[in-house]
Amino acid sequence: MTLTRDQRLRRGDIAAQGQDLSPREYFVLSRIDGTPSVAEVLASSGLGSVETETILQKLLDIRALIPIVPGQVSEPERRIRPIAERLRANARERRRQVLRAELESQPSSPTSYSAPAEEEETVPPNPPAKADPHFHMELLRLDDPRLDKSLDIKIDDQRWVLALADGQDRWTPFEFLGLVATHDEKLIKRAYHETSRRLHPDSYFGRSLGLYHDILAELFKRARFYYSELRKPEVRAPYVDRVLEEVARRRHEADAAEARAAVADEMRQRQEEAEAAVRRQQRAVVQAERQAQRVRDRLREEARTHATAAAEAERAENLAGAANLYRLALRADPDNAEYRTRWNDCRARARKVRAAEAFSQAQRYLEFGQTKEALPLLVEAAQAHANVDYLAHAADAVRETDPIQARNFAMGALDALASEPIEGKTKRRSSELAAIHVKVARAFLSVGQKESAKQQALVAQEHRPDDPDVRALLKSLKLK
């Protein structure tokens, strides 16, 4: 007959099953448990589709397999079919998950095999020695809706039974019995005894098992069949070879995937660190700008407060206080041109007022012959305001105690006198000019600058030749 993918099969004549079959034919026959479809056998055999179909056709020809006609299902099979269909659906979903995992370069199953050592023996070698030769099956999650606490079977046992049932079409016979691939018959026998003890119906005699009654019976039947098959070297050998090759392939893919994942994780971590550093820097810049803006706003408010107080002091003719307040306002807001202009104006006016007051007080001291008291006031007036009169009087006052400073005051007086016509000052009287040049000449004479003193004396003579101070100066210079 021609096989179709949805054609279901079952075991046939026992005598036919015992005929001289090749190891691969025995292996394909071992995949027939219950009534699987041809597509399910092709998926679970691990062999090529063409080879598997050829083997299935031979098994059908010798009556080792029998096709199932739709509608001709025995009563026990009708009762078991819903459970089997559900388990097969779970197995198909599990295979899809494994395929997705393989496409993402992740381990395709939770096996814990080690890669086999390469040997040149004709008999398939055992896997490398392991401290634990068992396959550790991943149990179901505790939130699986099929778990039932009301039954007389422990939750952990339910999780194991359901995990075994869900993967029965996916687990290898070794994994089903809880082993890694091996030729050690003692390990296989011990694993079978342990698995069958946990699955045997007698272990749950008299207990309320619910749906687990049929599941345990089916799993126990499968465990017994796997054990009987794995005891045959001709069946076990090619299967172990294939499993070990698959393990090596998975190990290689897992190592490559792990290396790629490590590189990707490192690159992602570096990228995240770089992005985090940029974000921290941006936040720091924003915070610094906000803090600077708050400081600027506070300083501007402080500057406005000082400027308001300075304007009030200026209206009260307290020019020194106003200049100091404008200075504080300018310090808080250095870019404010208005504060700078007002500060310079108040400072200049305050200096003029202070210089005038100091000069007036000095003149009163001089009227009473208190030269010592007048001297610091004259110096203060000259330093506060570069007026011709203040500079000339200061130069004459300090020529005996500080000739260098006297000479500097004298030169300042001459510069101020030269600039008076440019500033539109009223023309001085001859007596005032003569007195200024006499004081300047004395200051030059105190530092030994006789030629400069002579020039100033001659200028003074031109303005007022009969002035006693001028004649005395000319006499001291031997010009008369």
pLDDT digit string, tens, across residues 207-261: 888 888 889 889 999 999 989 988 888 878 876 787 678 767 888 888 899 899 9
Residue 435: is its pLDDT beyond 70? yes
> In the chain, how many domains are there?
1
Residue 16 pLDDT class (50, 70, 90 cuts): low
pLDDT tier at 113 (50, 70, 90 boundaries)?
very low
- Asked if pLDDT for residue 422 goes beyond 60, the answer is no
pLDDT reading at 367 higher than 50: yes
What is the pLDDT, as a whole number, of residue 463?
87
CA 177, CA 363: separation in Å to the nearest integer? 125
So what's the pLDDT on residue 305? Answer: 93
Higher-pLDDT residue of 34, 384: 384
Burial of 316 (0-12, 13-18, 19+ CB in 10 A): exposed
For the segment 391-415, the average pLDDT, to the nearest whole number, is 92
For residues 232 and 29, give the distance between their C-alpha atoms in angstroms, rounded to a whole number.
Answer: 13
Instruction: Specify the range with the lowest mean pLDDT, choosing from 138-147, 328-337, 382-391, 418-427.
Output: 418-427
pLDDT at 206 over 70: yes
- Residue 428: pLDDT band with limits 50, 70, 90: confident
Distances (CA, A) of 55 to 31, 58, 84, 173, 378: 12, 5, 25, 20, 130
- For residue 220, the surrounding DSSP H or E stretch is helix 212-230
CA-wise closest residue to 453 among 411, 397, 390, 415: 411
- Domain-located, residue 427: yes
CA distance 94 to 33: 19
Q: Which amino acid is residue 145, in one-letter code?
A: P
| Three-state secondary-structure class, residue 9 | strand
Range 396-414 average pLDDT = 92
Largest CA distance in the chain: 165
Q: What percent of the chain has pLDDT over 70?
A: 82
Name the residue among 377, 371, 434 with its Cα closest to residue 400: 371
- 3-state SS class at 215: helix
Lowest mean pLDDT among 25-39, 119-133, 146-160, 440-454: 119-133
Question: Looking at the domain assignment, is residue 470 inside a domain?
Answer: yes
Domain limits at 449?
386-476
Kindly tell me if the per-residue pLDDT of 80 is higher than 50. Answer: no
Name the pTM for this structure: 0.39
Residue 110 has what pLDDT? 33
**Phi, psi of 68, rounded to the nearest 5 degrees:** -100, 125
pLDDT of residue 317: 84
Q: Identify whether 467 is part of a domain.
A: yes
Whether 141 is covered by a domain: the verdict is no
Determine, yes or no, domain membership for 231.
no
Residue 101 is assigned to a structural domain of this protein: no
Question: Per the structure block, which two tokens stand in for 24?
Answer: 């691969």
Encoded tokens for 10: 């079952």
pLDDT for 289: 92
pLDDT value, residue 112: 33
d(CA 434, CA 389): 12
Least confident of 2-6, 173-177, 303-307, 460-464: 2-6
Model confidence at 393, in pLDDT bands (50, 70, 90)? very high
Reduced 3-state DSSP string for 86-149:
HHHHHHHHHHHHHHHHHHCCCCCCCCCCCCCCCCCCCCCCCCCCCCCCECCCCCCCCCCCCCCC
Residue 361 lies in a domain: no
For residues 270 and 264, what is the distance between their CA atoms, to the nearest angstrom?
10
Higher pLDDT, 78 or 116: 78
pLDDT of residue 107: 34
Percent helix, strand, coil in the chain (nearest 5)?
Answer: 70, 0, 30
**361: confidence class by pLDDT, cuts 50, 70, 90:** very high
Backbone angles phi, psi at 25, to 5 degrees: -65, -40
Output the average pLDDT for the chain: 80
Taking residues 30-36, report their average pLDDT: 76
**pLDDT at residue 241 in the model:** 80
Please, which pLDDT band fits residue 126 given cuts at 50, 70 and 90? very low
pLDDT at position 95, please?
58
Q: How many CB atoms lie within 10 A of CB 138?
A: 11
Instruction: Give me the pLDDT at residue 341, please.
Output: 93
Q: Is residue 395 part of a domain?
A: yes
Residue 103's pLDDT is 47
Which residues on adjacent β-strands are paired with residue 65?
11
Q: What dihedral angle (degrees, nearest 10) is formed by the CA atoms of 44, 244, 199, 27?
A: 50
Residue 18's pLDDT is 55
**pLDDT value at residue 274:** 93
